[in-house]
Amino acid sequence: MSADQDTFDVVVVGAGLAGLTAALTAAEAGAHVALLEKGAEYGGSSSRSGGGMVFVCTDLQEKAGVEDSLDALRDDLMRASQGRAQPEIIDAYNNTGSHSGYNVVRHHLLELGETGGYFGRVVSGGTHQGSIRGILDGTIDTAGIDSTVLETEEAARPELRTALRTIAVIGPSPIPPVVVPRTLDPALRTRLRDLLLNMGADPAGRAVLAAGRMTRFVPVADADYDPIRAMARRAEATGFLTLR
């Protein structure tokens, strides 16, 4: 059917579970709907789904002594999809592991006593930049943005300083560390550490740091990240695991 023969109130692209639901809902509301599907059959991935749900780092796993991580989940999802999954979508699923984007916001609500449903709706921005885009296009109202990311984005796009409004500053929290694989040669690991810690003493090193909007690197210990662990433990102890 050509566009000059008919027009539609709603066009739904993709006849998977979400598309079929959207088309049916719009039709029941009285809209003239077109449902488009490029495949030979409708149903999308939902037609092959066993209805299972994936979780990571749960309290049940911890009690059973099962070691898990967000990276392991990412690897499993990529392996299950035979490399066809979109990493940015997986990151969006994983981002409850973000400290600045999730953990510290959850802790702030705990401090305020707002654990019964502070937000009307909670969605995933996927990344800090994705959350910023969501605020700018009006799909979300507020988001927890890492201050370093925000400063870097504002430096690259000065218009963000007036387009975005800071309504609360939470923290400070320990900054993410520089890490290397455990398998890296110990001598090379020590050499890299020394180079980073002494970059500020060298003119060329200072130029590199300045380009990255940094002053210097400093040594850290594992205990420096105890405040982050304490926030997560308090959320677990109070049963406030999910932003709402």
Spatial separation of the C-alpha atoms in residues 230 and 227, rounded to whole Å: 5
Report whether 68 contacts 61 (CB < 8 A): yes
Query: For the chain, how many structural domains are there in total?
Result: 4
pLDDT tens digits for range 19-72:
888 889 889 888 899 999 888 777 776 666 655 666 666 667 778 888 776 567
- Round to whole Å and give the CA distance between 132 and 138: 10
Return the amino acid letter for 162. T
91 in a structural domain: no
Same domain, 4 and 19: yes
Residue 231 confidence class, pLDDT cut points 50, 70, 90: very high
Q: Is the pTM of this model over 0.85?
A: no
- Range(s) of the domain holding residue 205: 186-219
The verdict on residue 180 lying in a domain is no
Q: Average of pLDDT values for 89-102?
A: 64
The tens digit of pLDDT for each residue in 195-217 reads: 999 998 988 888 988 888 889 99
Please report whether residue 90 resides in a domain: no
- Rounded Cα distance between 82 and 94, Å, is 19
| Number of other residues whose CB lies within 10 A of the CB of residue 84 | 7
